């Protein structure tokens, strides 16, 4: 054993010996004596709480009837042993809550028996046989899942603590919990001592069991990490993420400090934020109950509770998280982690009545004081609609590393998600200044998300598939500019991690003209991209449209590819294109090897138009194009022998041998089609022409001419984002004067 580890272990043994001699009442972790009293007294009086108790009771009773199984670990996440151990800790945690609420001993007995089965097997348990992880667990293939187990089992143990004899506790603590906590921490510092969602789970797991056992040394390890972990700077995990960076702190508080921006945005993106929120919140709540003086909820200006709000704002109208970076589509605020998040944020936050409407949709509450509090609020009619609005979420510990801008019109009729963030750690994509567009809960222009079938064993063990790197992370997989068929930062994680885009401005004060604008100058050295996206509602248009201005300045001549991953069926184009008889890959590398070319054309007129139909709505892209531009239709699926990729389509603008240029386009939602009425309504674009009428270092102006011949001109100041600077330009003999970074004339 490494000398430093030995010291740690010795210290631990000593501290725990001393601390366990102090008396503590249980439960005190998530449930408290007072909270339990309230819940018992409320039974039968609070509909949603009662329903949640009944639902959980049914699940737990069914599992109790099945009997306890703690199989010898062998499978990846799709397999039986993985699912069984996962189910065990979920059910044990629930059984603990039921024991406290319903005071039925069978739940305590079930947990005790299960814990002793684990106690009996753990001491001789080798490292998990699956070798893929950089930090293999014992019950599961990675320490991450072992940590999940301990976070939940700590709660189960706390719930039945008082039912166990001192001897029983000693057996469990000495043979199971302490070795378990040590294994995921001091024996796996490469897992435990990082700034990463993995470590957050590890820290919370160690911290939770420390609080139950009243073990101060273990708690210190949870809060501040392992002081001297022996890790080398620059090491990587199996996802390619850094394990240790120079000068990096560790432990729960550091993890709370670093990945959250002051706005509560989590740098890995909402899919991982959803996953990370649970250990953050549940351990914060445990600290609130046991060590209120530490004020963990209030840490960094209430960043945890802000994070819940940020997360809810990172969903579409159906509650699905935007799949920024590695995100599996379909994950939504209906996940149990968000039930926890909403309940805790409501009860321990400002009792925001809008959170109650989310809880109503979730139709489920936690079996603790916060869940009761939410159910009471709903019962008493306090619920108000959660209104998502346009919001700018900064990224980075200090909010200075770019961000994500979300523009919404109406009741989520149209939602733009514009990403100008930092790399997002190992789950980040090379997608600077990318965007996705939603119409209510439907994707209009998609972000592909990840390439993984989470927990489906047949698909690479349920883990990330190689196409996640070769396709999903690549720039060409996103609605942003790819230069010379290479990804941003050349697809190099180390370089990407050093940079972030810069917000130019965000202005959503006028719902009918909302603008977000950002610059990126590091993705392609020598080439600067400046993208401005405006959501504009004009009275003569049925719905708002999105104006997209991508200004590129480069020291060299390049090929620019700007794809639009439209969802739906091609309806019409105003240009001709050739359709190859056989489909070949568009390129060799950087994601291009996965795209087939389905069509290739040239602009017929200066304003190229392409319409499609998706989910019953017509959409038209109108782009200002040059005669030498190429217009490509691509289809995903090349070099995909295992059918890991969806066969999704894109329309792509390609401009060759160009240095400075502007891509200006409008995406318009219009009309509808209904297969029952078979009525096709307003299926044509309202735009006749889109033209860049000025583009120089200081100003860019785009003219939009409607089919009714009315025109609008959008002018940007490219070098001064101040809202107070006065500008004046003359375009085609006409003078324009305005104040601020942009104006619509």
- In the complex, the residues that contact a copy of itself under the rule CB under 8 A are 78, 83, 328-332, 334-336, 453-459, 462, 569-572, 577, 579, 581-585, 596, 598-599, 611, 613, 633, 635, 637-643, 646-647, 649, 673, 675-680, 683-684
Specify whether the CB–CB gap between 315 and 406 falls below 8 A: no
DSSP state of 322: P
Q: How far is the CB of 640 from a copy of itself (least distance, A)?
A: 7
Catalytic residue among 85, 198, 288, 427: 427
Report the alpha-carbon angle 244-145-195, nearest 5. 20
Q: How far is the CB of 676 from a copy of itself (least distance, A)?
A: 5
Specify whether the CB–CB gap between 470 and 591 falls below 8 A: yes
Find where tokens 């700590």 sit.
154
Specify whether the CB–CB gap between 89 and 153 falls below 8 A: yes
Q: Which two tokens stand for residue 59?
A: 């699940």
Half-sphere exposure of 559 (CA within 13 A, CB side): 9
Q: How far is the CB of 566 from a copy of itself (least distance, A)?
A: 11
Which C-beta is closer to a copy of itself: that of 224 or that of 334?
Answer: 334
Which C-beta is closer to a copy of itself: that of 272 or that of 673?
Answer: 673
Report the alpha-carbon angle 503-505-508, nearest 5. 125
Q: How far is the CB of 448 from a copy of itself (least distance, A)?
A: 14
Q: How far is the CB of 597 from a copy of itself (least distance, A)?
A: 10
DSSP state of 459: T
Which C-beta is closer to a copy of itself: that of 173 or that of 343?
Answer: 343
Specify whether the CB–CB gap between 282 and 296 falls below 8 A: no
Please report the DSSP string for 517-572 in residue order.
Answer: EEEEEEEETTEEEEEEEEEE--TTSSS-EEEEEEEEEESS-EEEEEEE-B-SEEEE
272 as an active site residue: the answer is yes
Per-residue H/E/C for 589-656: CCCHHHEEEEEEECCCCCEEEEEEEECCEEEEEEEECCCCCEEEEEEECCCCCCCCCCCCEEEEEEEE
The length of the chain in residues reads: 745
Q: How far is the CB of 82 from a copy of itself (least distance, A)?
A: 10
Dihedral, CA of residue 186, residue 188, residue 190 and residue 195, to nearest 10? -70
Distance CA 561, CA 126 (A): 51
Which C-beta is closer to a copy of itself: that of 32 or that of 451?
Answer: 451
Which C-beta is closer to a copy of itself: that of 364 or that of 507?
Answer: 364
Q: Which CA distances in Å does 199 have to 183, 251, 286, 325, 670?
A: 13, 7, 18, 19, 47
The H or E element spanning position 691 is strand 687-695
Specify whether the CB–CB gap between 403 and 265 falls below 8 A: yes
Q: Which two tokens stand for residue 112?
A: 């005790």
Which C-beta is closer to a copy of itself: that of 506 or that of 565?
Answer: 565
Which C-beta is closer to a copy of itself: that of 127 or that of 454?
Answer: 454
Whether the CA torsion 38, 42, 46, 47 is positive or negative: it is positive
Find where tokens 């919140």 sit.
281
Catalytic residue among 110, 161, 183, 272: 272
Which C-beta is closer to a copy of itself: that of 611 or that of 665?
Answer: 611
Give the list of residues 6+ apart from residue 3 with CB closer than 8 angstroms, or none: none
Distance of CA 640 to the CA centre of its chain: 26
Which C-beta is closer to a copy of itself: that of 222 or that of 652?
Answer: 652
Please report the DSSP string for 165-199 in residue order.
Answer: -HHHHHHHIIIIIHHHHHHHTTT-HHHHTSSSHHH
Which C-beta is closer to a copy of itself: that of 292 or that of 330?
Answer: 330
Q: State the CB neighbour count (10 A cutoff) for residue 557.
A: 10
Q: Give yes or no for a cis peptide into 103 (omega within 30° of 0).
A: no
Which C-beta is closer to a copy of itself: that of 359 or that of 513?
Answer: 359
Q: How far is the CB of 599 from a copy of itself (least distance, A)?
A: 7
Rg of the chain over all Cα atoms, to the nearest angstrom: 28
Closest CA to 209 of 153, 160, 159: 153
Which C-beta is closer to a copy of itself: that of 252 or that of 453?
Answer: 453
Give the list of residues 6+ apart from residue 57 with CB closer than 8 angstroms, or none: 98, 102
The H or E element spanning position 573 is strand 569-573
Specify whether the CB–CB gap between 462 and 78 falls below 8 A: yes
Q: How far is the CB of 611 from a copy of itself (least distance, A)?
A: 7
Which C-beta is closer to a copy of itself: that of 8 or that of 590?
Answer: 590
Q: How far is the CB of 134 from a copy of itself (least distance, A)?
A: 22
Q: How far is the CB of 19 from a copy of itself (least distance, A)?
A: 38
Give the list of residues 6+ apart from residue 68 with CB closer than 8 angstroms, or none: 88, 110, 113, 114, 117
Distance of CA 405 to the CA centre of its chain: 14
Q: How far is the CB of 454 from a copy of itself (least distance, A)?
A: 5
What are the b/e assignments for 314-326, b being 16+ CB within 10 Å?
bbbbebbbbbbbb
Q: How far is the CB of 374 from a copy of itself (least distance, A)?
A: 19
Q: How far is the CB of 214 from a copy of itself (least distance, A)?
A: 34
Give the catalytic positions in this structure: 272, 427
């Amino acid at each position: 054993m490494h000398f430093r580890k030995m010291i740690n272990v010795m210290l631990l043994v000593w501290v725990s010996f001393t601390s366990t001699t102090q008396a503590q009442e249980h439960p005190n972790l998530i449930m408290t004596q007072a909270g339990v009293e309230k819940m018992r007294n409320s039974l039968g009086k609070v509909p949603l709480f009662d329903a949640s108790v009944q639902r959980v009771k049914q699940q737990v009773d069914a599992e109790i009837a099945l009997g306890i199984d703690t199989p010898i670990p062998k499978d990846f996440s799709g397999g039986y042993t993985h699912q069984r151990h996962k189910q065990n800790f979920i059910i044990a945690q629930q059984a603990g809550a039921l024991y406290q609420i319903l005071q039925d001993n069978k739940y305590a007995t079930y947990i005790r028996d299960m814990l002793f089965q684990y106690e009996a097997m753990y001491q001789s348990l080798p490292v998990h046989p699956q070798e893929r992880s950089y930090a293999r667990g014992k019950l599961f293939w990675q320490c991450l899942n072992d940590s999940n187990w301990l976070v939940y089992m700590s709660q189960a143990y706390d719930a039945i603590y008082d039912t166990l004899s001192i001897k029983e506790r000693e057996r469990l603590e000495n043979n199971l919990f302490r070795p378990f906590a040590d294994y995921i921490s001091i024996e796996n510092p490469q897992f435990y001592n990082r700034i990463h969602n993995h470590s957050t789970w590890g820290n919370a797991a160690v911290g939770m069991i420390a609080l139950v056992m009243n073990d101060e040394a273990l708690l210190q390890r949870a809060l501040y990490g392992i002081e001297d972990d022996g890790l080398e700077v620059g090491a990587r995990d199996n996802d390619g993420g850094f394990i240790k960076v120079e000068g990096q702190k560790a432990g729960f508080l550091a993890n709370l400090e670093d990945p959250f921006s002051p706005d509560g945005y989590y740098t890995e993106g909402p899919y991982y934020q959803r996953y990370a929120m649970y250990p953050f919140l549940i351990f914060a709540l445990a600290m609130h109950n046991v060590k209120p003086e530490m004020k963990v909820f209030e840490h960094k200006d209430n960043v945890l509770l802000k994070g819940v709000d940020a997360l809810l704002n990172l969903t579409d109208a159906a509650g699905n998280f935007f799949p920024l970076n590695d995100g599996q589509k379909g994950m939504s605020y209906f996940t149990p982690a968000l039930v926890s998040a909403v309940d805790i944020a409501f009860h321990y936050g400002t009792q925001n009545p809008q959170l109650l409407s989310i809880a109503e949709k979730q139709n489920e509450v936690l079996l603790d004081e916060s869940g009761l509090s939410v159910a009471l609020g709903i019962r008493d009619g306090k619920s108000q609609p959660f209104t998502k609005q346009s919001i700018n979420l900064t990224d980075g510990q200090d909010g200075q590393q770019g961000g994500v801008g979300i523009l919404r019109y109406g009741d989520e009729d149209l939602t733009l998600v514009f990403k100008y963030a930092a790399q997002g750690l190992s789950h980040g994509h090379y997608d600077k200044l990318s965007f996705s567009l939603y119409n209510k809960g439907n994707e209009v222009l998609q972000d592909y998300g990840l390439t993984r079938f989470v927990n489906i064993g047949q698909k690479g063990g349920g883990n990330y598939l190689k196409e996640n790197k070769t396709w999903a992370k690549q720039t060409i997989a996103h609605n942003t500019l790819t230069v010379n068929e290479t990804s941003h930062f050349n697809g190099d994680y180390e370089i990407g991690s050093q940079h972030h885009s810069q917000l130019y401005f965000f202005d959503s004060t006028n719902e009918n003209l909302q603008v977000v604008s950002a610059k990126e100058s590091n993705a392609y050295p020598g080439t600067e991209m400046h993208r401005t996206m405006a959501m504009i509602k004009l009275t003569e248009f049925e719905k708002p449209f999105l104006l997209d201005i991508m200004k590129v300045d480069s020291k060299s001549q390049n090929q620019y590819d700007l794809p639009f991953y439209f969802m739906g069926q091609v309806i019409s184009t105003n240009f001709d294109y050739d359709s190859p008889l056989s489909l070949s890959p568009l390129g060799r590398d950087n994601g291009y090897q996965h795209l087939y070319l389905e069509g290739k054309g040239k602009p017929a007129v200066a304003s190229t138009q392409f319409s499609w139909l998706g989910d019953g709505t017509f959409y038209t892209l109108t782009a200002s194009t040059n005669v030498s531009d190429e217009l490509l239709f691509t289809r995903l699926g090349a070099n995909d022998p295992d059918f890991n990729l969806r066969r999704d389509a894109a329309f792509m603008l390609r401009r060759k041998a160009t240095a400075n240029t502007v891509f200006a386009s409008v995406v318009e939602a219009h009309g509808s089609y209904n297969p029952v009425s078979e009525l096709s309504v307003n299926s044509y674009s309202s735009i006749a022409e889109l033209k860049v009428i000025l583009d120089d270092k200081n100003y860019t102006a785009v003219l939009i001419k409607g089919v009714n011949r009315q025109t609008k001109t959008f002018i940007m100041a490219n070098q001064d984002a101040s809202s107070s600077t006065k500008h004046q330009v003359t375009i085609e003999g006409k003078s324009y004067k305005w104040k601020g970074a942009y104006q619509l004339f």
